[in-house]
């Protein structure tokens, strides 16, 4: 059976020891594992060396300059989401042009993120924490809450389904209409209308998609809570900062510091982050392992 000569996990990739054993037994003659994130491109190049396969997470960017200096590479397994070349942590265009197969995974951490987002909304509406939707502390239900969702992918759909159950008034904006969600009562809404007419806005976008800039924040008046479910900002940092300072009724939540995008923003009283990714559940890591191993298996089965 064909195998990789050398596979290198250049950083922590959330694979279990058992998964690495499967790779060693079935797919690679030699496996090298690094348990820290490389601090420079030079370190990444050194770690890859003469390997013909590598595993990488979202914490390192594998650029054209790196790939050019690793001529033996023929497989890159992204142990993280891969939705588009623009949002990938690997230069997909260069890889395709030079015969390097890049695989990634989808739909593995969405449930935990959606659960956290709904939890935070309930926390604010009921006034369980220090941020209270009603300043007098009166509890409010999700019923009839005006919710706008930017990006109706897997996470957006889970959030929409959960909030629909409690009677929220949900609209969404996406690159394509989602007939399955519209059948459930979710309304498609033009972007400007969505951000101005809704009180709760969930940004469920892929990495490197920036939709909220100064213009958009200037449109968002009154009491609003924005929640970012991505692992990277969907907003311009300075524009968000100005919007948050403008009113104590503007709130911004992220499920990780990376979703906030700035240490300075974390100091503001109307910003909240857990400091870690809420998608990193036991089930999420189980699904990640299954999908990464399936990608490697499929590579040799082609």
291 exposure class (CB count in 10 Å sphere: 0-12, 13-18, 19+) = middle
Distance CA 172, CA 178 (A): 9
Distance CA 261, CA 234 (A): 9
Q: Work out the average pLDDT over 279-287.
A: 91
The pLDDT tens digits of the residues spanning 37-71 come to 999 999 999 999 999 999 999 899 999 999 999 99
Residue 235 is encoded by which pair of tokens?
Answer: 């907003």
Q: Is the pLDDT of residue 180 over 80?
A: yes
User: Which residues is 224 bridged to in the sheet?
Assistant: 250
Total Cβ atoms within 10 A of residue 63: 14
Report which of 265, 268, 207 is spatially closest to residue 238, judged by C-alpha positions. 265
Distance CA 50, CA 6 (A): 8
Percentage of the chain beyond pLDDT 70 is 100
Distance CA 28, CA 15 (A): 15
The pLDDT tens digits of the residues spanning 206-259 come to 877 899 999 999 999 999 999 999 888 999 999 999 999 999 999 999 988 888
The pLDDT tens digits of the residues spanning 95-122 come to 999 999 999 998 888 999 999 999 999 9
């Amino acid at each position: 059976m064909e195998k990789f000569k050398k596979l290198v996990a250049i950083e922590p990739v959330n694979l279990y020891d058992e998964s690495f054993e499967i790779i060693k037994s079935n797919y690679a003659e030699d496996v090298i594992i690094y348990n820290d994130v490389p601090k420079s491109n030079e370190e990444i190049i050194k770690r890859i060396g003469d390997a013909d396969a590598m595993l990488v997470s979202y914490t390192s960017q594998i650029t054209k300059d790196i790939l050019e200096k690793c001529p033996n590479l023929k497989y890159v397994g992204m142990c993280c989401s891969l939705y588009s070349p623009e949002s990938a942590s690997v230069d997909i265009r260069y890889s395709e042009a030079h015969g390097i197969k890049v695989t990634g995974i989808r739909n593995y951490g969405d449930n935990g993120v959606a659960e956290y987002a709904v939890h935070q909304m309930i926390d604010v509406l009921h006034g369980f924490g220090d941020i209270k939707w009603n300043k007098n502390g009166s509890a409010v239900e999700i019923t009839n809450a005006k919710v706008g969702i930017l990006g109706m992918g897997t996470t957006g759909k889970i959030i929409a389904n959960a909030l629909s159950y409690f009677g929220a008034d949900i609209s969404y904006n996406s690159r394509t209409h989602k007939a399955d969600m519209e059948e459930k009562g979710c309304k498609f809404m033009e972007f400007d209308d969505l951000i101005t007419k809704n009180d709760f806005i969930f940004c469920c976008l892929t990495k490197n998609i920036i939709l909220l800039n100064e213009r958009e924040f200037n449109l968002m008046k009154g009491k609003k809570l924005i929640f970012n479910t991505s692992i990277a900002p969907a907003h311009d940092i300075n524009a968000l900062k100005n919007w948050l300072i403008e009113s104590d009724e503007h709130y911004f939540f992220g499920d990780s510091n990376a979703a906030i995008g700035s240490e300075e923003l974390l100091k503001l009283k109307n910003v909240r982050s857990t400091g870690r990714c809420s998608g990193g559940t036991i089930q999420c890591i189980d699904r990640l392992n299954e999908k990464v191993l399936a990608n490697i298996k499929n590579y040799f089965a082609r």
